[in-house]
């Protein structure tokens, strides 16, 4: 009855609804709400840009997150790029008012660029966001240090993706120091973020071979998250399961395989319970943790248990991909790689060939649509295919797959793949590692 008065409030409500639906794993509904909010804001901004362009940028920011969650990464990237452009133009009018919003949009742009394989552009975006927030924090540390710490967390991830591992470690260590100081002053607000950054510190420490430091950081993260989950299980059990997943990985790196197996089993049990209550939000995490359970089981020689776990992971990833192929084909391909590995370990080479062939087909389709992001996965899968074919005595086909894999990994290489008579093993299995508090989208 009074659209001029109430449409802006409706758009704001739809934006918030989309965030809550997304957090519950109800992605289609979240996307619908966000899409409606953007449509309203776009109409309003067309008639009163000075008033409604900031709301349109906020809606586009959230819409990009929902599109990304659905696996529609190119659309998500186009949407967040528009949000960045709007917020950049707004800073030209009122820099002080809109610079924080620009940094948040740049943060999200960085994540989506990374997801489509444009890593150097991703690093440039998060570097700009971090620079803005460092400048803002110098002027107003109480208000801006939390945002700076968040951007440092994401900067570390992008640095690592571009091979700058020592620089990544320095960035996440700075974020940990900030969150530690913030949590001492206000533990209720910042202990969860400290745990997130410790989780990422463990990842970055492990990347540079500092396995004991990685283990110490993830143990502290688990300790914090266990205390938070004891007080508020609904809010913090997912975070605890995430850190237990990584604890298992780093325990295995230092030879603590039995303790690693116990940790990943606890994570699987948590995700199983969480997915029963909310499958939309937690079935993907259950599948990832089952994948890692298969890795830890195989490491201690429990090959049949490893095979059972990876079969369940593949089943879940396949069902998820049936509903949302763009979002879940990559993880299905990873799990099929591991399924082939464990089938090979128990001598079921024909079944292994079926699994790895399917993985290659998936990776080939993904790489045709997005070569920057998925050609490395195709190369890995082709390498595994070559290994399985050798085990089956199909040497000519194995050589062909090996040559293609080598060509993808190093287009200028003239090196031949291993002689067809050489006995080789399957490459190291793939594991899922949770990045904790980052990359973190900002709603």
pLDDT tens, position by position, 147-187:
999 999 999 999 998 999 999 999 999 999 999 999 999 99
Contact predicate 254/215, CB 8 Å: yes
CATH topology of 1-93 equal to that of 98-208?
Answer: yes
Q: What's the rounded Cα separation, in Å, for the pair 322 and 319?
A: 5
- State pLDDT tens for residues 20-75: 998 887 889 999 999 999 999 999 999 999 999 999 999 999 999 999 888 898 99
What confidence category does residue 420 fall into, taking pLDDT thresholds of 50, 70 and 90? very low
Question: Nearest-CA neighbor of 213 among 161, 429, 265, 221?
Answer: 221
Please, where are the H alpha helices in 70-164?
73-93, 95-115, 119-139, 141-161
Domain limits of the chain?
Answer: 1-93, 98-208, 324-431
Burial bucket for residue 323 (CB in 10 Å: 0-12, 13-18, 19+): exposed
Taking residues 232-251, report their average pLDDT: 92
Domain 98-208, what fold? 1.25.40
Residue 388 has pLDDT above 60, yes or no: yes
Which CATH code, of 2.60.120.260, 1.25.40.10, 3.40.50.300, 3.40.190.10, is assigned to 1-93? 1.25.40.10
- State pLDDT tens for residues 275-310: 999 898 899 999 999 999 999 999 899 999 999 999
Please report the pLDDT score of residue 442 as a whole number. Answer: 52
Residue 414 has pLDDT above 60, yes or no: no
Which CATH code, of 3.40.190.10, 3.30.530.20, 3.40.640.10, 1.25.40.10, is assigned to 324-431? 1.25.40.10
First to last CA, the chain: 30
| 39 CB-near residues (< 8 Å, 6+ apart) | none
Residue 129 is given by DSSP the state H
Please report the pLDDT score of residue 412 as a whole number. Answer: 64
Q: What's the rounded Cα separation, in Å, for the pair 283 and 285?
A: 5
Contact predicate 18/30, CB 8 Å: yes
What confidence category does residue 421 fall into, taking pLDDT thresholds of 50, 70 and 90? very low
Please report the pLDDT score of residue 70 as a whole number. Answer: 85
Taking residues 221-238, report their average pLDDT: 94
Residue 230 has pLDDT above 90, yes or no: yes
Please report the pLDDT score of residue 443 as a whole number. Answer: 42
Residue 414: how many other CB atoms lie within 10 Å: 6
- The pair of three-digit structure tokens given for residue 291, joined into one six-digit string: 């994948």
Residue 431 has pLDDT above 80, yes or no: no
- State pLDDT tens for residues 66-114: 998 888 989 999 999 999 999 999 999 999 999 999 999 999 999 999 9
């Amino acid at each position: 009855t009074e659209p001029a008065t109430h449409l802006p409030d409706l758009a704001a409500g739809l934006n918030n609804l989309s965030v809550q639906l997304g957090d519950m794993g109800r992605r289609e509904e979240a996307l619908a709400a966000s899409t409606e909010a953007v449509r309203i804001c776009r109409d309003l901004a067309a008639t009163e840009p000075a008033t409604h362009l900031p709301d349109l940028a906020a809606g586009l920011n959230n819409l990009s997150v929902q599109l990304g969650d659905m696996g529609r990464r190119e659309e998500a990237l186009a949407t967040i790029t528009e949000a960045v452009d709007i917020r950049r133009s707004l800073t030209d009018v009122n820099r002080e008012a809109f610079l924080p919003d620009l940094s948040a949009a740049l943060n999200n742009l960085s994540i989506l660029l990374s997801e489509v394989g444009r890593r150097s552009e991703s690093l440039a975006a998060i570097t700009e966001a971090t620079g803005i927030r460092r400048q803002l924090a110098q002027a107003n540390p109480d208000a801006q240090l939390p945002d700076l710490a968040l951007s440092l967390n994401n900067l570390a991830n992008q640095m690592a993706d571009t091979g700058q591992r020592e620089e990544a470690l320095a960035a996440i260590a700075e974020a940990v120091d900030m969150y530690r100081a913030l949590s001492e002053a206000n533990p209720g607000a910042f202990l969860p973020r400290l745990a997130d950054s410790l989780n990422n510190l463990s990842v970055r420490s492990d990347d540079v071979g500092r396995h004991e430091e990685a283990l110490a950081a993830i143990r502290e993260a688990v300790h914090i998250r266990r205390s938070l989950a004891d007080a508020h299980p609904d809010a913090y059990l997912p975070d605890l399961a995430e850190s237990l997943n990584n604890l298992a990985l780093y325990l295995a790196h230092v030879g603590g395989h039995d303790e690693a197996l116990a940790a990943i089993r606890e994570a699987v049990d948590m995700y199983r319970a969480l997915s029963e209550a909310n499958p939309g939000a937690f079935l993907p995490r259950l599948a990832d943790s089952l994948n890692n359970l298969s890795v830890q089981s195989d490491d201690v020689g429990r090959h049949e248990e490893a095979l059972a776990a990876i079969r369940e992971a593949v089943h879940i990833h396949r069902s998820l991909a049936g509903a949302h192929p763009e979002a879940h084909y990559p993880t299905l391909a990873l799990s099929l790689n591991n399924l082939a590995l464990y089938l090979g370990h128990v001598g079921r080479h024909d079944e292994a060939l079926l699994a790895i062939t399917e993985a290659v087909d998936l990776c080939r389709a993904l790489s045709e649509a997005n070569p920057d992001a998925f050609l490395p996965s195709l190369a890995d899968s082709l390498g595994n295919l070559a290994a399985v074919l050798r085990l089956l005595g199909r040497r000519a086909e194995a050589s062909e797959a090996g040559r293609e894999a080598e060509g993808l990994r190093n287009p200028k290489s003239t090196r031949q793949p291993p002689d067809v008579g050489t006995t080789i093993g399957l490459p190291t299995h793939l594991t899922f590692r949770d990045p904790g508090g980052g990359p973190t989208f900002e709603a």
